[in-house]
Amino acid sequence: MRLDVVSIFPDYLAPLDLSLIGKARRDGIIDVRVHDLRDFTHDRHRTVDDTPYGGGAGMVMKPQPWSEALTHVLGSADEASGPAPILVVPGPGGQRFDQARARELAEAPWLAFACGRYEGIDERVYEWAAERMEVRVLSLGDYVLNGGEVAVLAMTEAIVRLLPGVVGNAESLVEESHEGGLLEYPIYTKPSAWTDAAGVTREVPEVLLGGNHEAIATWRHEQRLARTAARRPDLLAAAATAQGPDGLSVLDHAVATPADAGEILTLQKACRLEMVAEPQHWSGAPAETVDDVRADLASWTTHTFRSEGRLVASVRVRRDPVDPSTWQIGRLMVVPDLQGRGLERALLERAEALGPADITRYRLSTGADQQPLLRMSKKAGYRTAGPGEGPGTVDLTKRRAAPPSSR
């Protein structure tokens, strides 16, 4: 994996030479390149900021140095990295960076980070960059830092440690906090009985000493649930949604009726806002109405999935009116707070399984700039077939696997 970081404080990134990340650099697992934004200025003071239009406190980072710095990064593309990186801009106004997003970004061959400072980066830089690469604005949490460097260090460590060969024992990644949506269970080491300075003896739970691995696994899962309920109860609903063989089995499944049109439209708008926030959009796509959704229900079969009454996922399917051997799949949607947990792939697999026995091909229509969904679809075997019927959409197709022979 290649990582480029643009900052006005390149020395801030020195910790990337330490510990496991530094070893991964020395072992050639990652290629980290740090760029000084001031190298792309053209005045004697190496100015990167100016006062904001419209007034207000603070300074704003100018577009010219950023466009030149990012152009320099793009110009250094090679065969291993691919044509363009995913540009990550840390900021409190972005989507929450979590373990699911770390896993998603760990699959990318090339990431670039733009470290903002002061009041932030001129908005036109985001627009310019989005025309050249995928842009993600990501936040560590609901607080404000002085700049993006601290966030880049945290994100880099969370992402890179997931790469093969970085962490010595890969099994240690499986039951960590936030894997499967739960916090990690309590851990202990020798001695089995420890007497503290006050003379109190504290013992390791007996279940961990007996060698019964089934009992240990049950105890650990119970502890994960209890700790999550005590410390992060907000995670429990999402974790419950992600459980089950295919991630959908615990959800209430139904075929949509006209009465569901309003909720489906709300889900659709939420997914659209998620795309705009990255920033992505369906260029020229007209806003739909409840009546439009109701009309679609008459020509498509729309499947809904609910968690405790809340609509959290939906997909529509039908036999292609022109080619009856093709199964059309569209509007594959998962609420933003549950995206990246595997529900999208499970939803796609469920939509494929709904196809009648005589179907020989699947056709999936999606937004041309929905990069996460496009990557997921291509991993599932889909290939781009050309522009879709709607503005800003693209069609992907996949041959249906032949059933196993009974001979």
User: What residues make up the domain containing 42?
Assistant: 2-160
What whole-number percentage of the chain has pLDDT above 90? 43
| Final residue before a domain boundary, out of 109, 128, 160 | 160
Residue 9 lies in a domain: yes
208 and 258 in a common domain: no
Please tell me the predicted confidence (pLDDT) of residue 236: 64
Q: Are 317 and 304 in contact (CB under 8 A)?
A: no
Residue 7's H or E segment, with its range, is strand 2-7
Tell me the average pLDDT of the chain. Answer: 84
Q: Tell me, yes or no, if the pTM score tops 0.95.
A: no
What whole-number percentage of the chain has pLDDT above 70? 87
CATH code for position 6: 3.40.1280.10
274 and 367 in a common domain: yes
Residue 18 lies in a domain: yes
- 405 exposure class (CB count in 10 Å sphere: 0-12, 13-18, 19+): exposed
69-91 per-position pLDDT tens digit: 999 999 999 888 888 999 999 99
Residue 301 lies in a domain: yes
224 and 115 in a common domain: no
- Gap between the Cα atoms of 374 and 382, Å rounded: 9
Residue 242 lies in a domain: no
Dihedrals φ, ψ of 273, to 5°?
-60, -35
Nearest to 254 by CA among 291, 307, 293, 292: 307
219 and 87 in a common domain: no
Structural domain total, the chain: 3
pLDDT category of residue 337 using cuts at 50, 70 and 90: confident
86-141 per-position pLDDT tens digit: 999 999 888 889 888 888 899 899 999 999 998 889 999 999 999 999 999 999 98
353 and 271 in a common domain: yes
Residues forming a β-bridge with 95: 138
Across 368-372, average pLDDT: 73
Question: H helices within 201-360, ranges in order?
Answer: 213-231, 234-242, 261-276, 290-299, 343-353
Q: Do strands 31-36 and 134-139 pair parallel, antiparallel, or not at all (unpaired)?
A: unpaired
Please tell me the predicted confidence (pLDDT) of residue 143: 85
153 and 8 in a common domain: yes
Please tell me the predicted confidence (pLDDT) of residue 290: 86
373-391 per-position pLDDT tens digit: 788 888 888 998 888 777 7
Please tell me the predicted confidence (pLDDT) of residue 308: 77
Residue 111 lies in a domain: yes
Please tell me the predicted confidence (pLDDT) of residue 252: 84
Say whether pLDDT at 222 is over 50: yes
269 and 197 in a common domain: no
Buried b (16+ CB within 10 A) or exposed e, 107-131: ebebbbbbbbbbebbbeebbebbbe
Residue 280: C-alpha distances to residues 90, 138, 188, 314, 371 (Å): 17, 14, 46, 21, 9
Among 132-141, 175-184, 271-280, the range scoring the smallest mean pLDDT is 271-280
